[in-house]
Chains A and B, each alone.
Chain A
């Protein structure tokens, strides 16, 4: 991945660089390593680090039974799927219009879309809560997802991709008698695949982790996602020991973490692509 650089350190300097890099890496991984230690050992070992400490899954079992995590997990999966599906459709259509059409008002509309990059739904919680109340969807997965379904970031990203696809391709398809939507579906979407993957990974991890808006707009188990469920669990059960809370913490981030470890390369490259495009 990286090419050798003539200024890469050598000899003693290289040794020092390696030591510094690994010290920093350990420091960065420490919270997670610590959580794994605590979650897999009985609570009396949560601050005693002996190699002979017995391993256990008891903490996970207790946490699982202490709160409706299965329901929270279902809610989160529903949420990220629904948001992603809506985003892919809406952003594809919008990006195609911006990339391939010239129409009156294009500049103004594009500026209006980009405004969302600055005024994210995250900070408009008060008014969006009012809106959700007015349309009667408070305390539902739909309410958590609605403000995020059209994403300026997605439109911008896909517009850049579609612009780089040569016009000759869709002219050829038009000669064959394909309609606008057919051209979009058969030519543009397949060519944009890597960008779709990148966007999907960014979107899923964002909405899996999102907290403030779901906290505000939900108030029952039926709609709470994992993040809010975890917070309710760890703040109300003050008597619960740390081992169980860290087990719950790992469970909450588990699926995303496993996915990340399996697809590390794609994940990192997706984030890179999403950022520099």
Chain B
């Protein structure tokens, strides 16, 4: 054995690499390798009946420009993001303020807000499906009692996407609340006392002191909410299957349909590249945030 390998520094390097090896192997096999392969396969047409895949260059990407279902899913996904992100974040903040205000039964409040988070989306979607059901559903019964005419909530193009957004907000708000609660408890009460001495109103104190102090948390939650907006599709399987007429289809759901219903995995790969692009945008924010956290330590 050459002396260099025996030196303590070299041994430490080898130890470190060995410790990392299993985790890196898994991440490489199921994250990096498929990500690179997605890129490669997006230039190929699947061979049918055992034939080898055929190189088609940018054909899939050109088709993206014409594919109306893709355009619809893309617009829907952006609307879904624009609906769920601000709503769930502002509700989460409100919930955290309410739970933190020392009101009667605050642990029961926290429980109610948080419970949707631990339930499987696919299971709760079944309950929501019944809420939205025409005629028998709870929503229609309430409206019926008020003398309003029937609406097919999930069955009409105008209301399907908002209904799906409502379920997503309901599921996520309590989860994000937890992070705000943790941050609120780090704010020293002396800040409030100082603001009170200065004669600041309650509204002013929250707007100028508390909410700015929560900014790092808001950034963290924002990134997570954005990622969720592009990967949360479980409820679509139960509620709308992307319908009616793709009015509630989202990108990942369309990828699923293209790849596993029509088995056009080459085009599915091109679609996945678009999705990865959005996630990359979201993660630029996340990396900045994590880096700062790391350096502060």
By a beta-carbon cutoff of 8 Å, the part of chain A in contact with chain B is: 1-9, 14, 17-18, 20-22, 24-26, 28-29, 31-32, 34-35, 38, 47, 89-91, 93-94, 96-98, 101-104, 106, 109, 112-131, 146-147, 149-150, 152, 155-156, 160, 163-164, 180, 205, 208-209, 211-212, 215-216, 226-227, 230-231, 234-235, 242, 245-246, 249-250, 252-253, 256-257, 260, 264, 267-268, 271-272, 275-276
Contacts and interface: CB of A to CB of B under 8 A. Distances in A.
A112 B181 contact: no
B58 interface: no
Given A22-B109, A94-B24, A227 B123 contact: yes
Interface stretch (B65-73, B75-83, B124-132): B124-132
Chain B, interface residues (CB within 8 Å), range: 35 or more
9 contacts: A1-B185, A25-B113, A31-B128, A113-B23, A126-B259, A126-B265, A211-B120, A216-B256, A227-B120
Q: Which of B22, B107, B196, B230 is the most central at the interface, judged by chain A CB atoms within 10 Å of its CB?
A: B22
Nearest to B28: A112
A12 to B, nearest CB: 13
Given A230-B126, A264-B111, A123 B23 contact: no
A121 B107 CA distance: 35
B141 interface: yes
B237 A124 contact: no
Nearest to B179: A275
Contacts of A22: 105, 109
B115 A28 contact: yes
A74 B111 CA distance: 28
A123 B252 contact: yes
A47 to B, nearest CB: 6
The binding surface of chain A is classed by DSSP as: helix
Nearest to B187: A5
B102 A8 contact: yes
A24 B177 CA distance: 13
B69 to A, nearest CB: 17
A251 B29 CA distance: 35
Interface in B270-289: 272, 275-276, 279-280, 282-283, 286-287
